[in-house]
Amino acid sequence: MINKLNIYDNYYSWWKTIDKTILIFVISFFLAGLFFSLASTSLIASDRLNTNSYYFFIKHFIYILLGLLIMFTFSLFKETFLIKISTILFILTFILLFLVPFIGSEVKGSRRWLELPFSPRFQPIELIKPFYVVILALLLNYQKYNLYFKYVLTLLLIIPIVLLLISQPDIGQSMLIVFTWLTLIFVSGINLFIFFGLFSFFISILTYLIFFFERFNYIKIRISSFFDSSSGNYSQAEKASEAIIDGGFFGKGIGEGTLNSKIPEAHTDFIISVISEEFGIIIILLIMLSFISFAYIIFKKIRDTNDNVFKMILIGLISLLLMQAFVHVGVNLRVLPTTGMTLPYLSYGGSSIISISIISGIILNLTKRRVY
């Protein structure tokens, strides 16, 4: 009886302090992803595999249920425990990321996935991202070191992660990791001259890798196709942007789109084009407006937060989400070269859903109303 009362008290305390608006946004995003998975993507994608027509939808549904459970768990933690568990999980996920070049599964020329005996195939980089932001925020707010030594520590943190990603190769996620780092050191008060020097340094390294290493020829091809569609490299992004144009403002209707039968990654990297073809360009505007509104609400909470570590964690997480969403849409609209980046909450993919659930759980935790 006492245990039941404790569970009820914990749940009541959680419900009383949680930010309901942020919670509604998160659940709405997940439900929208589930709807679009059923209405636009999974039926045709699963037909190609000659399996149950609801195969992808059922898997997507299971991932979301698991994700919501993980989100709820992270939102329940005490702040001190959240920091401790995030540190431990960062170390564990970094070890998994380190194992990818040695025992990872290769798909379409990239080695980004792990298949362990006790789990389905997953991408360690997706799991490390939330905890990476937490560790960055902790290092930048560590009182025993001066600010510039903290920048060196954070640089030592991101270099091995970026090198491991480049070895896969995964330039898109590398850019996301570096962008998040640059965002956090910028808001920490870094000298602008040093900031732009670091920014230029990473751009130079990226350019050198793309144009002088054969391993990254695929990126060079994507870039040349982006600037010159007559180069003969008729990319998936071109098909995606054409599908958006064909859909017009209000779309062709549910199940009337053809993009998901033309490209293999329609339900992940090009989900916004699939949605737009069937539901119209208006849906892109609504989705991006929803992301911006979601970010605005979180930034309002950041303004009211006194703890600098929590502020930086929230800024890092929402910046990561926004960057990923805008890059995904930019690629689909063909204003950016193809990066292979999913759309948070809406794209299919177990690793992506679990990652975004952890991020959502941390956001919900750190935006709770504090009761003293």
Whether residue 36 contacts residue 275, with contact meaning beta carbons closer than 8 Å, is answered with: yes
Whether the per-residue pLDDT at 231 is higher than 70: the answer is no
173-212 per-position pLDDT tens digit: 888 998 999 999 898 888 788 888 888 888 887 777 767 6
Whether residue 267 contacts residue 347, with contact meaning beta carbons closer than 8 Å, is answered with: yes
**C-alpha to C-alpha distance for 91 and 24, rounded to whole angstroms:** 32
**C-alpha to C-alpha distance for 95 and 220, rounded to whole angstroms:** 30
Q: Average of pLDDT values for 273-286?
A: 86
337-359 per-position pLDDT tens digit: 667 788 899 888 889 999 999 99
Q: How far apart are the first and last CA of the chain?
A: 27
Nearest Cα to 166, choosing from 128, 211, 111, 222? Answer: 111
| Contacts (Cβ under 8 Å, ≥6 apart) of 250 | 279, 280, 282
**C-alpha to C-alpha distance for 276 and 243, rounded to whole angstroms:** 8
**C-alpha to C-alpha distance for 330 and 324, rounded to whole angstroms:** 10
Predicted TM-score (pTM) of the model is: 0.88
**C-alpha to C-alpha distance for 72 and 61, rounded to whole angstroms:** 17
